Amino acid sequence: MGNLSPFLDNGQYTVIYNMLSLGIASMLFTALFLFMARDRVLPRYRMAVMVSATVTSIAAYHYFRMFDDFKHAFGTDGMGVVAYNVGYRYVDWFLTVPLLMLETVAVLALARSVQKSMMYKLVPAAALMIALGYPGDARLDIMGISPSVWGALSTIPFLYILYVLFVELGKSLERQSAAVREKIRLLRLLLLATWGVYPISFIMNMNATGFDPASFVARETGYTIADILAKCLFGLMIFTIARIKSAEDSPEHAKAEYGS
């Protein structure tokens, strides 16, 4: 659970209310678009698009839950009467971050052995990163370990994921076209930029003494913006890569999609 709030003023309440509403709309309609557009790519790339749609669908569900929980906790004249449950975010990330790794590998249609190797490295590391981060962000008293220690432990699999994505995956891109390599470069930079927001928001909350409204607003705003970029924009970029590769693989598909 999060912390009991003595007070959120009207401006602080409105900021988080609107950010969570933006998160719901972004996740929900990105998911709908990806589900409806899945036939715009060849069958071998549809799995990546469908995983992207699943990611944003899962996130949309959890944003509905967070929105309802936030109103319940802070909706009476800004007074927090129950604890705000930060666990909803971590359940969402525990499911969606490994799936983000899956869609990244799936869209490239790499050799089966390479795909398996990448997934065996990325998926467990992603799940471990989220599992280690939750006790620190929720300030759970587990074995007397401080939030900063949990944050440091969570950073280890995070760095390993970056190594796999930027170094090991980079070695598998030689056979991809220049257009696909450029999109993958942007995709990895997007992950690096958006994932960098999470530890910043984590640290802001960790340094607060008790419940600090300003830190709470900054954390929830930062998490939501990063989520939209790391899930919605990321999924749309996966869809773009799938379309490029479909056009490269099939002249008939390219003619049907682009008219040339």
Rounded to 5°, the CA angle 255-257-259 comes to 45
- The Cα 212–Cα 110 span in angstroms is 47
Q: What is the pLDDT of residues 11-36, one digit of tens each?
A: 888 999 999 999 999 999 999 999 99
Model pTM score:
0.88
Highest mean pLDDT among 30-34, 139-143, 250-254: 30-34
CATH of domain 10-251: 1.20.1070.10
Distance of CA 8 to the CA centre of its chain: 27
Report d(CA 14, CA 219) in Å as an integer.
15
| Beta bridge partner(s), residue 79 | 76
Instruction: Report the C-alpha gap between 145 and 141 in whole angstroms.
Output: 7
Separation between Cα atoms, residue 260 and residue 255, nearest integer Å: 5
What is the SS3 assignment for 79?
strand
The string over 49-65, giving b where at least 16 C-beta atoms fall within 10 Å of a residue's C-beta and e elsewhere, is: bebbbbbbbbbbbbbbb
Q: What is the domain partition of the chain in residue ranges?
A: 10-251
For residue 32, CA distances in Å to 55, 61, 117 come to 11, 13, 31
With 90 as the cut, is the pLDDT of residue 166 above it? no
Average pLDDT over residues 177-193: 88
Q: What is the SS3 string spanning 162-226?
A: HHHHHHHHHHCCCCCCHHHHHHHHHHHHHHHHHHCHHHHHHHHHHCCCCCCHHHHHHHHHHHHHH
User: In this predicted model, which residue has the larger pLDDT, 185 or 137?
Assistant: 185
pLDDT digits (tens, 9 = 90+) for 80-139: 445 778 889 999 999 999 999 999 988 888 778 888 889 999 999 999 999 998 887 777
- The residue with greater pLDDT, 80 or 53, is 53
Q: Would you state the torsion angle of the CA atoms of residues 41, 47, 51, 54, taken in this order, to the nearest 10 degrees?
A: 80
Q: Are 30 and 231 in contact (CB under 8 A)?
A: yes
3, pLDDT greater than 60: no
Q: Is the dihedral of CA 70, 217, 60, 24 positive or negative?
A: positive
* pLDDT cut 90: percent of the chain above it: 44
Q: What does 238-250 look like in DSSP terms, one character per residue?
A: HHHHHHHHHHHH-
Q: Which residues contact 223 (CB under 8 A, 6 or more apart)?
A: 89, 197, 198, 201
Which pair of tokens denotes residue 116?
């398996």
CA 189 to chain centre: 14
